[in-house]
Amino acid sequence: MSLQWTAVATFLYAEVFAILLLCIPFISPKRWSKIFKSRLATVITTYGNTAFIVIICILVFLLIDAFREVRKYSVSEKVDLSNNPVAVEHIHMKLFRAQRNEYIAGFALLLCLLLRRLATLLSQQATLMASNEAFKKQAEGANDAAKKYMEENEKLQEKLREAGIEVPEVGGKAKGSVEENKKNLTEEVRKLKDELDATKKALLKSDSDVKAMKKQAENLTVEYDRLLEEHGRLQALSMDKNI
């Protein structure tokens, strides 16, 4: 085997080992995701796309060359070499090597694509698992908050009942339907509005009464002052007559 095909075969064995390593069940996708996001893997990934394209081009070129060699040494079926058995053995050996190289290049190319796809799927699965855990924690937090609010609501209802305030029950124990509750609330709002209007009218009436009483008191004060002055004049006149 030539040097180039030895390198391709070694690359094929490395791909098989890497795929088997990625398929090990007790290594979780999260761990693989951490490995893929490590500093060394990040440096490798920086030039990974270029290296991947170069490797694919080399493997395609070698696959085409191996296919050409297979076509080249398949002439034994077309040419009669029965008189030269050494040539037949040599051609069969070359044909075997060409077919072996063709299989090596083909499987190396296939496993290269498969390895890249498998790494991508593992990264996506790790991301989905992380998102699923985040959504699960968020749902658990919302559930705990809802339970807390329900407990606080129940405590508040108990305090209102202890204070003598009727609190309508919720759920299946609720009294009446939603329409009845709405109707009752509307009636209460209307009554409150009527009471507010009556209070406003009474306030205006009391205000006018206060103003009338104030004016009357001012008139009485003026009249009282006038009577005092007149009484003073009368006393002064009577004193003058006595003198």
For 111-166, how does the pLDDT look when each residue is reduced to its tens digit (9 = 90+)? 888 888 887 787 777 777 777 778 788 888 887 888 887 887 777 777 767 766 66
Burial of residue 16, with CB atoms counted within 10 A of its CB: 0-12 exposed, 13-18 middle, 19 or more buried: middle
CA-to-CA distance for 214 and 206, rounded, in angstroms?
Answer: 12
For 2-29, how does the pLDDT look when each residue is reduced to its tens digit (9 = 90+)? 788 888 888 888 888 888 887 777 777 6
Q: Please report which residue ranges of 38-84 form alpha helices under DSSP H.
A: 39-46, 48-72
Whether the predicted model's global pTM rises above the 0.85 cut:
no
| The pLDDT of residue 41 is above 80 | no
Query: Is 111 within 8 Å of 16 (Cβ atoms)?
Result: yes
For 175-224, how does the pLDDT look when each residue is reduced to its tens digit (9 = 90+)? 455 677 777 778 888 888 888 888 888 778 777 777 777 787 777 778 77
**Token digits of residue 120:** 């991508």
Which pLDDT score is estimated for 173?
Answer: 44
Q: Which amino acid is at 209?
A: D
**Helix, strand, coil percent values for the chain (each to nearest 5):** 85, 0, 15
Helix (H, G, I), strand (E, B) or coil at 163: coil
